[in-house]
Copies of this chain bind each other. A is one copy, B any other.
């Protein structure tokens, strides 16, 4: 399958590499073609990997994964072009982190709105699924790094898009019963605000190699 991975940071590189390893074709999108991170990543990944502008990547992808930094998401997606997102599953992995006051960051949007909802509102024809934003990038693409039973959460307004996202998570190694559907895209408020808690756990544990499990 053809994927667009928007964003050239650690999350985009990890997800892009996993997709390539699974046999998919990936175009990594950046603000400008020739982004050094994207070029180096594409060269390391081989012929299934390409790089280009956000627009070129989004046009090439059948599914788009948003791994841009929270503060630039809407601008990046605008640059990708609404017409290149329309009708497509848009997996939103980003968190609206605001580092302006240092670590741990606060959230640029929360409580009565969320980045996931902002993206869905701005691109009503995209089929937004919020997913994977509750863990470090290494755990996203290799859940077995964390022992035992633990979960990944999805939400979005399009049931078929959530099914496609869940199938991709299964390819990433997530057991079917570890994929929890929290409902509509409004639930992104919950998974994004959870990150404030995750950041404190990260501070105490000194590693991002953990995840939460729902005990019941």
Interface residues in A, total, Cβ within 8 A: 41
Tell me if A191 counts as interface (CB < 8 A to partner B). yes
State in angstroms the CA–CA spacing of A147 and B210 once bound together. 20
Q: Are A209 and B201 in contact (CB under 8 A)?
A: no
Given contacts A110-B110, A112-B106, contact A210 B215 (CB under 8 A): yes
Known pairs A111-B106, A216-B207; A182 contacts B201 (CB<8 A): yes
Stretch at the interface among A50-58, A67-75, A165-173, A192-200: A192-200
In the complex, which residues of chain B have a beta carbon less than 8 angstroms from the beta carbon of A187?
A: 200
Are A215 and B214 in touch, CB under 8 angstroms? no
On whether the beta carbons of B213 and A215 are closer than 8 Å, the reply is yes
Determine whether A121 belongs to the interface, using a CB cutoff of 8 Å to chain B.
no
Contact B215 A150 (CB under 8 A): yes
Does the CB pair B200–A147 fall under 8 Å?
no
Q: Closest residue of chain B to A134, judged by CB?
A: B197
Cβ contact within 8 Å between A197 and B200: no
Determine whether A33 belongs to the interface, using a CB cutoff of 8 Å to chain B.
no
* Residue in contact with A193 in the complex, picked from B183, B196, B213, B215, CB distance below 8 Å: B196
Closest to A189 in B: B196
* Contact A196/B203 with A111-B111, A112-B106, A210-B214 known, Cβ cut-off 8 Å: no
Contact B204 A183 (CB under 8 A): yes
Among A97-112, those with CB < 8 Å from B are 101, 104, 106-107, 110-112
> Across the two chains, which residue of chain B brings its CB closest to A200?
B190
Chain B: which residue is nearest A210 at the CB level? B216
Q: How far is the CA of A204 from the CA of B186 in the complex (A)?
A: 13
Given A107-B111, A212-B214, A215-B146, A199:B203 Cβ within 8 A:
no
A149–B147 alpha-carbon span in the complex (Å): 13
CA separation between A212 and B213, bound complex, in Å? 6
